[in-house]
Amino acid sequence: MSGAARRTLRIALAGLGCVGGKVAEWLLDPSHPVHAVSPLRLELAAVCVRDPGKARGLALPDSVRMAGTLEELAAADADVVVELIGGVDRAGALVAAAIGVGRDVVTANKALLAHRGPELAARAEAAGRLLFFETAVGAGTPVIDVIEDSLGVCRVRSVHGVVNGTTNFILSSMAERAGMTFGEALAEASALGYAEADPSLDVDGHDAAQKLCVLAQLCFGQEVRPEDVATTGIRHVTPSEILDGLEHRLALRLLASAELRDGRLRLAVRPAYIPRTHPLGQLNGVRNGLWIDTAEAGGIFLSGPGAGAESSATGVLSDLARVARLRAGGATAWPLRMARAKGRRGLLGAAAESALGNAPAPSPRLRGRIETALAD
Ligand code: HSE
């Protein structure tokens, strides 16, 4: 592809943290594969950071404009705004402003999508803008695009997933490394860049609940909020509960589930024993996995690293390449499946809080407070 002949996609990036820094580094590196697959030349046009004085080990060329505020970034001369600042309020205002002034948007922000995804997608669709968020679930592991696109023609019956890398790293490290404590495993996950700035979002299950909302909105077309998800984290899991499971060939994992049963959507995040023979029971370390049961295509399993700067930046670049392909092809509208969920809550209600059906415990000793899920 001839670089000189290519039109340009100008990118405004909010946030140069662990993920944003890697996105910027790769956009500035002409040898990164994204530049070969994008039909438009990808140009980092502007950035906005909370602390411009902070050393980041990243040399931005003079051509990159430093926006002083998020409002300035939204209004910068760009085609697409990439939101990597996290949180709901400021990020939501940025995304809404960017759509309002005619930008496409890429975000990795699961909290924002869990709280405002359908509304923002409807806003984007009405404005003829794109809103892509591959990184919000599974980081760079292609999950959203598969559900949106390839499985968009299927009826989903249930989604079960290990969608938080930090807790999976903690639980599998405690199982594999004798004597490792919860605190040591969490410290290691933080040092590796997996944990949220506030790791209670990981260990108390809220990050997984936000990701489950994004998945349920896509798979079931319902406006699902974190408060609809019965959420229990792993803080109170004991080493002996993990080891007891192992003795019975069960992996203790933080399992997120959305299941359509009797016309009701049941949503839960909780520690559960999963048979080691089930694909979700074989995920160790930061690996995430999703088991999607569809009426037409049967059970689909997706798996890959679910956190970390490089995996997450890969998800963001895949979205940028997608924007470039659509815009280069002259797309003026794009049906955003997330927008279909706006205002639709018919499958929710009290039933959303009900416990999910459990597989029978394989031994009386495990018949405690932790359920056994996903019989093999
Ligand atoms: N803290 C998150 C996790 C990062 O551990 O999965 C990726 O969303």
Q: Which residues are CB-neighbours of 31 under 8 A, at least 6 positions away?
A: none
Query: Model confidence over 303-339: pLDDT tens digits?
Result: 999 999 999 999 999 999 999 999 999 988 788 899 9
Confidence of residue 141 (pLDDT cuts 50, 70, 90): very high
* CA 162 to ligand 1 centroid distance, Å: 11
3-class DSSP state for residue 180? coil
pLDDT of residue 2: 43
Taking the C-alpha atoms of residue 268 and residue 159, their distance in angstroms, rounded to an integer, is: 11
pLDDT of residue 356: 58
Nearest C-alpha neighbor of 297 from the set 134, 201, 154: 154
pLDDT of residue 321: 98
| Mean pLDDT of the 289-299 span | 97
Beta strands in the chain (DSSP E): 8-14, 41-48, 65-66, 80-83, 104-107, 131-132, 156-162, 230-231, 250-261, 264-275, 287-294, 298-305, 371-372
Give nearest CA residue, ligand 1 atom 7.
Answer: 307
Q: Catalytic residue at 211? A: yes
Query: Model confidence over 52-72: pLDDT tens digits?
Result: 878 788 889 999 999 999 999
Percentages of the chain per state (helix, strand, coil), in multiples of 5: 40, 20, 40
* CA 358 to ligand 1 centroid distance, Å: 26
Among 22, 54, 110, 211, the active-site one is 211
pLDDT of residue 202: 98
Q: How many CB atoms lie within 10 A of CB 319?
A: 26
| Mean pLDDT of the 105-111 span | 98
- Ligand 1 neighbours, Cβ below 6 Å, are 139, 164-166, 194-196, 202, 207, 306-307
Taking the C-alpha atoms of residue 82 and residue 92, their distance in angstroms, rounded to an integer, is: 12
Residue 13 has pLDDT above 70, yes or no: yes
pLDDT of residue 359: 53
pLDDT of residue 24: 98
Nearest C-alpha neighbor of 70 from the set 62, 54, 57, 82: 82
Tell me the pairing of strands 250-261 and 287-294: unpaired
Confidence of residue 3 (pLDDT cuts 50, 70, 90): very low
Residue 371 has pLDDT above 90, yes or no: no
Q: Which residues are CB-neighbours of 347 under 8 A, at least 6 positions away?
A: 220, 222, 260, 263, 264, 265
* CA 196 to ligand 1 centroid distance, Å: 6
Answer with the residue of higher pLDDT: 335 or 218: 218
* CA 125 to ligand 1 centroid distance, Å: 28
CA 167 to ligand 1: nearest atom: 5
Burial of 223 (C-beta count, 10 Å sphere; 0-12/13-18/19+): buried
Confidence of residue 372 (pLDDT cuts 50, 70, 90): confident
CA 307 to ligand 1: nearest atom: 7
Query: Model confidence over 22-33: pLDDT tens digits?
Result: 999 999 999 999
Q: How many CB atoms lie within 10 A of CB 355?
A: 10
Token pair 């080691």: residue: 276
Confidence of residue 242 (pLDDT cuts 50, 70, 90): very high
* CA 128 to ligand 1 centroid distance, Å: 31
Q: Do 94 and 47 form a contact (C-beta atoms < 8 A)?
A: no
**Ligand 1 pocket test target in 162, 207, 211 with most atoms within 8 Å of CB:** 207
Residue 213 has pLDDT above 90, yes or no: yes
Give nearest CA residue, ligand 1 atom 4.
Answer: 307
pLDDT of residue 4: 52
pTM of the predicted protein model: 0.94
Q: Which residues are CB-neighbours of 236 under 8 A, at least 6 positions away?
A: none
Confidence of residue 361 (pLDDT cuts 50, 70, 90): low
Region of poorest pLDDT, from 270-274, 313-317, 365-369: 365-369
pLDDT of residue 57: 83
Q: How far is CA 302 from CA 159, 216, 252, 290, 309, in A?
A: 11, 16, 19, 5, 20
Taking the C-alpha atoms of residue 73 and residue 65, their distance in angstroms, rounded to an integer, is: 9
Residue 8 has pLDDT above 80, yes or no: yes
* CA 103 to ligand 1 centroid distance, Å: 27
CA 194 to ligand 1: nearest atom: 5
pLDDT of residue 365: 56
pLDDT of residue 1: 43
CA 110 to ligand 1: nearest atom: 8
CA 312 to ligand 1: nearest atom: 7
